[in-house]
Chain A
């Protein structure tokens, strides 16, 4: 059966070229999708993945090259004809209507597509229930989508794609916001989709996952088609090489902290009801401490308590042997704590302001001269030095942050924190949504800052990242620190086992 499908791809693009204002976003890219197979589309940010998806979904027209659906050449693929041909894209934000119920979300686009004049809520529910049952899911049909977890939103989006008779489903970064269990569940669903003969495209930064779930692989770099092949012929190392065009080390390279008697930071018996309980740990100068756990385990809540976003109810925090009270974010900053928030776009950055304005945003009060006016020279010195030190790739400090890539934007947030000269740096998911090359460089920045004597706390569920930089790793489960991994205990498998145990 599978063989028969192989003969004729559901969707095939050949020698696609697309230029934007003189820049070749895609240069002779080809890809063939087979029914019942998952195709992993990999590459760094800006390599042309998004452009290729836009072309498949008819949003953009290629300059040259051809698109075949079921072997038939498509002269001009529009978003409408693409959907009619059964091509569905599930974007990172899922494009759901938060104020509508699950059932309404699943059915509404198909209702629009057939130009239904009236919407029947009961029929919608029946149709939605059928799809959900077929996939063996448990979703509350009448729940409002805004109240759902990220994983359930995603399942809703998948159901919506299926009700539109999707034969090709493109998933853009489907696992980024999911926990390990949720990812496993998603992969189960993916298997069911394959049994239905759906061809899937899987775009992800997480290489193991992609390899685990995919049968075919296509890799792009700088808009060029590097290689296509069968997934079993690749491993993480070779994938990484193809993606970056160079070797990226995954070995451990850790700093040597100053293990003096007095730790830099000592947290004792921190409690916050419903979030975490009796959290105690120490952090030394020059140390990189990992905190890991599943989403909802309490890891983010601990960080936010330390930074005063949601202060702890009891327990003590000491920095340099001095007890500090953290009731507001300003208390934490004053005590020398810097926090890189989980969601850099909404919590970390002023997107429409310049790189310079962003870097200086947290330390304006430190740059005052006579009459309370700002010290312009000092400001440009600080911003320029951060710009250079963190190797931010932008035209200048006056470029708007919106124009930067994920990795560079993250460096801008880091610059903002470092401009305050914090003693303790807490980073929540420092490399989420950052491409591999940039990721290595950000981890290198963390090592450098630790070497300068700062204490660094990295909160992450990326086990390889933790293995790569951490001196110790705390494992959080259901709001409690259940284990501390040190030295040779810090391995990817250990971390994964401990967090899900």
Chain B
């Protein structure tokens, strides 16, 4: 994945060095990545259990709308208090995300609905809620501080990008260094064996979807940090895009295998390609062709390498058996 990222970066640098290497363009890649990246990480976590979460974007919008509405109404009555309450309002946005995840988790782990259907349903509900609430209009008046934080940066890196790295890091620690995270991976590999190993699949699934909901909430906050407006249909193209990113990043849709690093790199790659296409003046439609082509190309390479690995593995196993017998 890293190779592809570097490769695509090099390609566009070669094609249009002036525009592509322009700090503003690089800045733009880093500004556009975080929200998609966080949602893609959420998608990866759901896929790790062999499930999927289609509702994350809707959850993110709901969280952004909650924050905007609360803040702007408070702002109208008492500006000083609004500024003071801002962190709590943001926290509330995250709680909305968590609640959405709780709802998904309940449907999937206790009721037993297939994740793709449960989250399709909840996506519709959350989307509908958001449209009814906003009347389909774009809301203005999100906390300006948030946007200011979003615009600020450390060492040329936008804060939101740092937020992506931090969130990705935390998720990676969760998945690899906590008991619950490891159980998530095992459950995705073989749910039956997980059950026989005493893994509480309800608890694991519940926390998985709470995590994806929470990440959705984070994404909502990132939406606002990038752009202080919120609407019900923001980022509607992300739903399928993040699946592409997750799979590009090496996530096995059947469950059990995924890395956070892979997903972050895949996010950056696609953003690089997007902005590169921009730089060489190709349209969004051509970019969409490229997206699909990259996905299929990576899958083909993946197939080839698994086959090779499998053969190698078998030969090794045979070799080992021989050796052991001697």
Contact = CB atoms under 8 A, between A and B. Distances in A.
- The reply to whether chain A is a binding partner of chain B is yes
B182 A347 contact: no
Contact of B196 (A21, A23, A348, A393): A348
A374 B198 contact: no
A481 B277 CA distance: 75
A487 B186 CA distance: 43
B317 A403 contact: yes
B28 interface: no
Interface string A15-47: 000001111010000000000000000000010
B198 A222 contact: no
A492 B139 CA distance: 81
Contacts of B314: 20, 403
A395 B193 contact: no
Contact of A404 (B190, B192, B317): B317
A6 interface: no
Interface stretch (B59-67, B124-132, B265-273, B318-326): B318-326
A347 B179 contact: no
A240 to B, nearest CB: 16
Contact of A350 (B189, B200, B318, B320): B189
A365 interface: yes
A86 interface: no
Contact of B183 (A23, A364, A373, A376): A364
B175 to A, nearest CB: 11
Contacts of B200: 330
A289 B321 CA distance: 33
Interface in A213-244: 222
Given A222-B325, A362-B198, A346 B320 contact: no
Contact of A329 (B196, B315, B321): B196
Contacts, number: 98
A357 interface: yes
A21 B315 contact: yes
B182 A346 contact: no
**Would you call the interface of chain B mostly helix, strand, loop, or mixed?**
helix
A394 B317 CA distance: 8
Given A403-B313, A416-B197, A46 B179 contact: no
A394 B320 contact: yes
B199 interface: yes
A52 to B, nearest CB: 15
Interface residues of A, number: 43
B316 interface: yes
Contact of B177 (A22, A374, A420): A374
Given A222-B325, A350-B186, A395-B320, A364 B196 contact: no
Contacts of A348: 193, 196
A346 B193 contact: yes
B287 to A, nearest CB: 34
Given A20-B315, A393-B324, A403-B317, A333 B198 contact: yes
Given A25-B318, A403-B313, A352 B256 contact: yes
A374 B178 contact: yes
A348 B257 CA distance: 19
A353 interface: yes
Contacts of B195: 329
Contact of B193 (A330, A350, A374, A400): A350
A166 interface: no
A21 B192 CA distance: 35
Interface string A343-383: 00011111111000100111011011000111010000000
Nearest to B190: A350
A141 to B, nearest CB: 32
Interface in B50-102: none
Nearest to A350: B189
Contact of A351 (B179, B190, B325): B190
Interface in B190-218: 190, 192-200
A405 interface: yes
Contacts of B316: 395, 403
B319 A374 contact: no
A341 interface: yes
Contacts of B193: 346-350, 361
Nearest to A331: B198
Interface string A383-424: 000000000011100001011110000000000100010000
A202 interface: no
Interface string A432-455: 000000000000000000000000
A248 to B, nearest CB: 15
Given A20-B318, A330-B200, A394-B320, 17 more contacts: A21-B319, A23-B318, A329-B198, A347-B192, A347-B193, A349-B190, A350-B186, A350-B193, A364-B179, A367-B179, A368-B179, A372-B178, A374-B178, A403-B317, A404-B317, A405-B317, A416-B197
In the A-B complex, the 5 residue pairs with the smallest Cβ-Cβ separation, listed nearest first, are: A21-B315, A364-B179, A362-B197, A333-B198, A403-B317
8 contacts: A21-B315, A21-B318, A23-B322, A353-B186, A357-B182, A367-B179, A393-B324, A403-B314
